[in-house]
Structure 1
């Protein structure tokens, strides 16, 4: 598989690991049980914003990326977004804790692991030599990619919420 671009179908066989939010797992110290999110299936009938970051709790990802998406959740939903997913190389336990530490204890944003950076590697969007996902954003509308941009540097110019909102 190669890098995705607008007009491409979202690939088959893509899954991520995540811990579904429940009242029992709402505490940041509650672990939960990881499960698979069949992205290929889930994305067929929804408008999805998928954001990849190099790592949970890292400075740019926390301060400039996730916080802006949380601030503009209502605008994303008003633009017809059904599902917002943040992925990183981190395991699903760390990703779940990142969400809970930011006050997301429901399914407003799903925090998932790109297990072994399999998906990001398959599209060629990783941080070379680090074993981490690159910073990028995809919009998938009913199984078709309508926006796909990878950051060239450490900023959030093309993967930040404002860039994504402008393309919805």
Structure 2
């Protein structure tokens, strides 16, 4: 447990222009308090989901008393997401372990209704590109629920500040 991926759906958008804006969370924010009552859906097989009655995981169980790197992406199985963003974390698992994160693999959690990203003000509307509401592309280093570093890309197609190398340098 330690690296978390929150994936919010399918393709990252063309036709979306970036705006500079503030977010509901920043360094020092408590990620659990910022999203009260929110739980995430851990990725698992269909049979495992049925067996667990598709239970969700409260944020406190993911973040409290742990050192966690979490990142969000606008679309699974898209070029930037699956060829750059996710692999940047996968290839650096040993480096994260060396930095004191307790993990043995990357865990995937889905924000099935968007409530996590909406609570953190890290969602974006890509309806103009027929993609609906998505996660921003972002990453954060979180210790005992407190955000130490938050990195948000200017546009969903960018991959400049949310990758593993940036986070590793911040820890």
8 Å CA contact retained: 1:19, 1:32:
no
Aligned partner of residue 138 in structure 1, secondary structure = strand
User: Aligned to 2:112, which of 98, 110, 115?
Assistant: 115
TM-score between the two structures when normalised by the length of structure 1: 0.73
CA RMSD in angstroms comes to: 1.8
Gaps of 5+ in 2: 1-22
Tell me: CA distance 1:14–1:77, structure 2 relative to 1, closer, same or farther (3 Å).
Answer: farther
Query: Which structure exhibits the higher relative contact order, with contacts defined as CA atoms closer than 8 Å and separated by 6 or more residues?
Result: 2
8 Å CA contact retained: 2:32, 2:59:
no
User: Following TM superposition, where does structure 1 have runs of at least 4 consecutive aligned residues deviating by more than 4 angstroms?
Assistant: none
TM-score between the two structures when normalised by the length of structure 2: 0.72
8 Å CA contact retained: 1:48, 1:81:
yes
* Paired positions, count: 136
Note the 1:95-106 alignment, pairs <5 A. Answer: none
Structure number with greater Rg is 2
8 Å CA contact retained: 1:18, 1:110:
yes
Note the 1:1-168 alignment, pairs <5 A. Answer: 3-12=24-33, 13-20=37-44, 25=45, 31-33=47-49, 34-82=54-102, 108-128=105-125, 129=127, 130-153=132-155, 154-168=157-171
Matches of 2:55 and 2:78 in 1, distance apart?
24
